[in-house]
Amino acid sequence: MRRSIIAANWKLNASRSMVDTFMPAVDAQASASGNTDIVICPPYPYLDLVGQKVQASNLHIGGQTMSLEKEGAFTGEVSADMLRDVGCRYVILGHSEQRRYHADSDISIGTKMVTALRAGLTPIVCIGESLQQRKEDKAESTIMRQLGALLALGRWVDLSDLVIAYEPIWAIGTGETASPEQAQAMHAYIRAELTKSRAQLADTVRVLYGGSVNPDNAAKLFAQTDIDGGLIGGASLQADSFNQIITAV
Ligand code: PGA
């Protein structure tokens, strides 16, 4: 049985006062939802503050991305070891916004995944097709390419801890969610691809759905066999809506 995960991707949104009101409410909900792992991924400057407010044993903090590098002259970068050092258990990798604005590629993301796993972080690796790719019937081939790079680069590493987030780009921040059937079909495809490569992964790897998840659509999405939880953007910024999503899983 795979444990479900609900992860909050705050993106470029946070303040001390937001953390002060958000965390006690979500910590209480996490305590009441012991079968689910809850992950909060704030912007770097708030990791420590968020971490200080964690009490529930199933509530964790994570980074939104990280560097390929370990240390040195890389202005603006943050390493896997630093994330661990400040208490992170997770890191989001390959989010479509990082792919788009920071030139993250299939290769760099796969390499970061290996670095993260070796540092003891659980990577939540985002994959997903654009609207154009879906229209051209290239959704599956896009996913196959993205997954293929991960599996190739992760060939010699234990990937049982890996978390995949299927995030169709056309559903991110648009209010347009994949239907539960569309999402389930792609999650089943992802699991089938994983099985082809390494049979045991298909049962252990958790596959999250992300893209305009909200309290109204969450339960139907999470009821699908191959959806193990969600990566939540906009609806993770308020404790109220985020807690409702936790309850839905
Ligand atoms: P959204 O973002 O929930 O605001 O669509 C999800 C994500 O980008 O991870």
Model confidence pLDDT, tens digit, residues 5-21: 999 999 999 999 999 99
Tell me if residue 95 is catalytic: yes
Per-residue pLDDT at 202: 81
Element (H, E) at 181: helix 180-197
* Distance from C-alpha of 83 to C-alpha of 87, rounded to nearest angstrom: 7
Q: Whose CA is nearest to atom 3 of ligand 1?
A: 233
68 alpha carbon – ligand 1 mean position (Å): 24
Q: Whose CA is nearest to atom 2 of ligand 1?
A: 233
Q: Is the pLDDT of residue 201 over 90?
A: no
Model confidence pLDDT, tens digit, residues 125-135: 999 999 999 99
249 alpha carbon – ligand 1 mean position (Å): 17
Per-residue pLDDT at 97: 95
Tell me if residue 129 is catalytic: no
Model confidence pLDDT, tens digit, residues 159-188: 999 999 999 999 998 888 899 999 999 999
The residue written with tokens 């943050």 in the block is 78
Contact 215, 208 (CB under 8 A): no
213 alpha carbon – ligand 1 mean position (Å): 7
Q: Does domain 4-248 have CATH number 3.20.20.70?
A: yes
**Catalytic pick among 95, 97, 129, 187:** 95
211 alpha carbon – ligand 1 mean position (Å): 5
Q: Is the pLDDT of residue 198 over 90?
A: no
73 alpha carbon – ligand 1 mean position (Å): 32
Give the bridge partners for 166, in sequence order: 127, 209
Model confidence pLDDT, tens digit, residues 54-71: 999 999 999 999 999 999
Per-residue pLDDT at 220: 98
Model confidence pLDDT, tens digit, residues 145-160: 999 999 999 999 999 9
Q: Is the pLDDT of residue 31 over 90?
A: yes
Model confidence pLDDT, tens digit, residues 224-237: 999 999 999 999 99
Q: Is the pLDDT of residue 199 over 90?
A: no
Structure tokens at 146: 């993205």
Q: Whose CA is nearest to atom 1 of ligand 1?
A: 233
| Length of the chain as a residue count | 249
**Catalytic pick among 97, 129, 167, 187:** 167
> Which atom from ligand 1 is nearest to the alpha carbon of 171?
5
59-63/36-41 β-pairing: parallel
Handedness of CA 104, 206, 48, 71 (dihedral sign): negative
Q: CB within 6 Å of ligand 1 — which residues?
A: 9, 167, 172-173, 210-213, 231-235
Per-residue pLDDT at 249: 93
* Distance from C-alpha of 27 to C-alpha of 249, rounded to nearest angstrom: 16
Average pLDDT of the chain is 96
Radius of gyration of the CA atoms of the chain, in A: 17
The domain ranges of the chain are: 4-248
Contact 158, 117 (CB under 8 A): yes
Q: Is the pLDDT of residue 81 over 90?
A: yes
Per-residue pLDDT at 1: 78
